[in-house]
Amino acid sequence: IKYIGELVQKSEQEMLKTKNFGKKSLNEIKDVLVGMGFSLGMKIDGFTPEKFSPPRKED
């Protein structure tokens, strides 16, 4: 996960399946997201990480 847009589209269950990620981490992330006006499990139409990634350098 590199972008908030990716994070907020995950469910709590998906997050808890992440290695070394537990309930405490989940609650901390949820608190920060709420402070930003977001929550887990949001649907963001048209979000693709590629839109926010820098162009790849061609060798």
Fold of 4-43: DNA polymerase; domain 1 (1.10.150)
What is d(CA 7, CA 9) in angstroms, rounded to the nearest whole number? 5
Residue, of 29 and 48, whose pLDDT is higher = 29
pTM reported for the whole predicted model: 0.74
pLDDT for 49 equals 74
pLDDT digits (tens, 9 = 90+) for 10-36: 999 999 999 999 999 999 999 999 999
pLDDT for 16 equals 96
Average pLDDT over residues 45-55: 73
Give residue limits of the domains in the chain. Answer: 4-43
pLDDT band at 2 (very low <50, low <70, confident <90, very high): confident
DSSP characters for 22-44? -HHHHHHHHHHHHHTT--TT---
